[in-house]
Every structure is written in C-alpha cells, then in structure tokens.
C-alpha cells in the first residue's frame, strides 16, 4: 500500500494517471497468488512499485503527484485486503 505524503490518504489503487502518461489508460487490478496486488495498464501487468506510483499516479484525494511513500501498517493493510478480497469473491 502507498500513502500520500500530502493528505495522508492511503491509495486503494483506484489509479489516476499523471498528466504526462501517454497510453490508453486501460486499467485493471487483481490479487496474485502471493496476495500482492497486481495492476494491468494497457496490457502490461506488474506489481506496483513506489517508483511507478511516483512517476505515473496522481493522488485522487488531493491531486498531488510525486507524493507517495510506503505504508507499513500491517494490521490496517491486512484488514483492507480481507475487505477487498470479500468484495472480489462475493
């Protein structure tokens, strides 16, 4: 998970693209078998890195770019993942 340094929102990977991104912006996400979120952008699948986020993702809460840091709050992350998994499977 990534957190915005400006507004402290935790990204839920409802990805918004930086204005300089040139692709078609077809975006989807799922969890792989290691319980990592995997993102597909224009047919290219990857586990998002901090570099990717800072190059391509805009914070949808405050509109800032280059604002991401890792969020290592394990309990919160676990709870969110369980919630997300419920949504996916149900």
The footprint of Zn ion (CB under 5 A) covers: 4, 6-7, 9, 59, 61-62
Rounded to whole angstroms, the Cα distance separating 35 from 48 reads 13
We find the least distance from the C-beta atom of residue 50 to Zn ion, in angstroms, to be: 15
Q: Which residues of 8-34 are buried (b: 16+ CB within 10 A; e: fewer)?
A: eeebeeebbeeeeeeeeeeeebeeeee
Instruction: Give alpha helix (H) positions in 10-67.
Output: 50-56
We find the least distance from the C-beta atom of residue 64 to Zn ion, in angstroms, to be: 5
We find the least distance from the C-beta atom of residue 4 to Zn ion, in angstroms, to be: 3
Of 60 and 78, CB closest to Zn ion: 60
Of 4 and 57, CB closest to Zn ion: 4
Of 6 and 27, CB closest to Zn ion: 6
If residue 63 lies in a helix (H) or strand (E), which one and from where to where? none
């Amino acid at each position: 998970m990534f957190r915005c340094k400006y507004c402290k929102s935790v990204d839920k990977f409802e990805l918004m693209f930086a204005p300089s991104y040139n692709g078609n912006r077809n975006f989807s996400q799922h969890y792989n078998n290691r319980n990592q979120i995997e993102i597909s952008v224009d047919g290219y699948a990857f586990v998002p890195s901090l570099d990717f986020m800072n190059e391509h993702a805009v914070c949808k809460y405050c509109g800032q770019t280059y604002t991401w840091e890792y969020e290592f709050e394990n309990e919160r992350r676990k709870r969110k993942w369980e919630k997300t998994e419920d949504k996916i499977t149900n």
